[in-house]
Amino acid sequence: MNDRSIERRIADWKQLEQLINQASTAGGLRRFLRFELRELSRIYRRTASDLAVARVESRDQQLVEYLNLLLIRAHGLIYRPQSSGFEGLRKFFRVEFPALVRRTYRYHLSVMGVFLAFSIFSFIATARNNDYADLFHISPQLVQQIRSRQPWWERLNQEAPSGAAEIIFNNAGIGLKAFSMSIFPVVGTVMVLLPTALMFGSINALIIKHGMTGQLWSFMVGHLVLEFAAIFIACGAGMMIGLALLFPGERTRRDALIEQGQPAIRLLAGCLPIFLAAGLIEAFISPLLIHPIFKLATSLVSTLLLAGYLLSRSAAR
């Protein structure tokens, strides 16, 4: 892109910047006239083409950064929700969050793969030698309870309200920690997920060895799918930020963080109701002394509802 091309295009860039500032002052695009919306769309597409050309032909890094930031601002303005209040919240959970989960599914599946890998490792190690349980965050007291076949989770029967709060905050805390630790790309997210994965595999090895599989899984089956789904989505959001910092591509790390930070925060916010539902089931339904088939039914219903919510075509409209 030579100087003559820049001179011809600079008027459009300034106009785009003016429209962005105007929309920011007016609180969005709702007050724009139809011709202004068409003009904004036209200049946005043209500026995107200019940026692609500038990245290849121009040696002016300041120009590339200017156009990149201009497009980031325009993109956030054009595609952000224009609703407010309850309607905006309803639209976010009904339409935007499920669509965002589908669009970023690779991150969440990657987190699930990491979790399963560490869980299988700790399962095999503990199955061979109980002494490894201590390395995988299993306290000696808990090991002794499993050996003596004591259902340690029954205390939740008497402490359901406080137990629910503790469970919800503990599970949500994993997602929040993964998010905050993502400043250390990938490694921070994995390190937050690691203790839970190792503990899960090790506990399952112990209960199989000491004949408590049916007891524990009849307790866990009701809430496990919702709990892990929320954790994987939240940790996947943290992974998005970590990878953006580690592999910014042609963008600066600041630009990559801006682009990936917004959807990652929205993913984390969307997980909160799932954490809440999982915590309530774990505290009030899972400890009940009822036939395991009813807890299995709870798990199947919650799994189908979650899958329908995240995958339904109506959520994409």
Work out the pLDDT band at 316, boundaries 50, 70, 90.
Answer: very low
Q: In whole angstroms, how far apart are CA 35 and each of 12, 15, 31, 42, 146?
A: 15, 14, 12, 10, 70
Task: For the chain, give the mean pLDDT.
Answer: 84
pLDDT at 80 over 80: no
Rounded Cα distance, 40 and 38, in Å? 5
pLDDT at 121 over 90: yes
- Contact, 271 vs 175, CB < 8 A? yes
pLDDT at 185 over 70: yes
Rounded Cα distance, 207 and 113, in Å? 23
- The pLDDT value recorded for residue 82 is 54
Work out the pLDDT band at 110, boundaries 50, 70, 90.
Answer: very high
- The pLDDT value recorded for residue 25 is 67
Nearest Cα residue to 63 out of 76, 75, 73, 51: 51
Nearest Cα residue to 207 out of 120, 118, 116, 126: 126
- The pLDDT value recorded for residue 140 is 87
Which of 7-11, 126-130, 292-296 has the lowest average pLDDT? 7-11
- What are the pLDDT digits (tens) for 240-255? 888 988 888 877 888 7
Alpha helices in the chain (DSSP H): 3-26, 34-57, 61-79, 85-91, 97-103, 105-128, 140-147, 160-180, 187-209, 213-220, 224-246, 253-284, 292-311
Work out the pLDDT band at 26, boundaries 50, 70, 90.
Answer: low
Prediction pTM value: 0.71
User: Where do the structural domains in the chain lie, given as residue ranges?
Assistant: 3-80, 91-316
Percentage of the chain with pLDDT > 90?
29
pLDDT at 278 over 60: yes
pLDDT at 270 over 90: yes
Q: What is the mean pLDDT of residues 270-275?
A: 93
